[in-house]
Amino acid sequence: MRLFVAVDPTPAAVQELAVTAAPLHALPGAERLRWTEQESWHLTLAFLGEVPADRVPELGAALAQTALGYRAHRLRLAGGGRFGDRVLWVGLAGQTWALRALARAVLQVTTELTAELGGDREPELEYHPHLTLARAGRGGHPGREERAALRTAAEELAEFQGVDWPVTGFQLMRSDFTAGRYRYSVVDRWTLGAAD
């Protein structure tokens, strides 16, 4: 199964972002972008790709151990930008160092497994915490209108400062491609356990 590890913003943070992002859908060309659904908004800590079901228990045990070593922290959704002409994202502010440390630890644990499995994971570039709002280009290169919509939306998001919310845990997510799109479901969830 196709797996990734993610943190979910709280419903209040999601709601606030939904209100902020709504006008962006009306930008010229925005209808050509593939907007992510509010119900699936997440911050990816690590992407694993295909993992056989029989390896999930050992992965879960390693992630449970990781969770014990890290503290709850507070983040805000803030700012925005784009990855090239492909992805519109919202950024993070607050105790991002804590999220980065957690992502590093999760990546280390998951890399041990995925390196052994091979698979379609992309080489790890610098970790850039973000929430993906929209994607451009269906298979091919994004057209001029899509690129313009992505650029304008990124500019509009630059000043966004969301409410403060707690990161209390993370989850192992499963991604299934059905009826023409990816659907996410929670495989397991762990609470951050280090004492203050």
Taking CB under 6 A as the rule, does residue 47 contact ligand 2AM?
Answer: yes
In the set 25, 73, 128, 130, the catalytic residue is 130
Taking CB under 6 A as the rule, does residue 39 contact ligand 2AM?
Answer: no
Residues that bind ligand 2AM (rule: CB under 6 A) add up to a total of 9
Judged by CB under 6 A, which of 98, 175, 189, 193 binds ligand 2AM?
175
Q: At residue 30, what is the residue type?
A: A
Our answer to whether residue 73 is catalytic in this structure is: no
- Spatial CA neighbour of 86 closest among 21, 23, 159, 139: 139
CA 147/CA 153 separation, integer angstroms: 10
DSSP 65-108: HHHHTS--EEEEEEEEEEETTTEEEEEEEESHHHHHHHHHHHHH
Taking CB under 6 A as the rule, does residue 96 contact ligand 2AM?
Answer: no
Judged by CB under 6 A, which of 44, 96, 111, 168 binds ligand 2AM?
44
Taking CB under 6 A as the rule, does residue 110 contact ligand 2AM?
Answer: no
CA 174/CA 168 separation, integer angstroms: 20
Binding site for ligand 2AM (CB under 6 A): 4, 44, 47, 120-122, 132, 175, 182
Active site amino acids? 42, 130
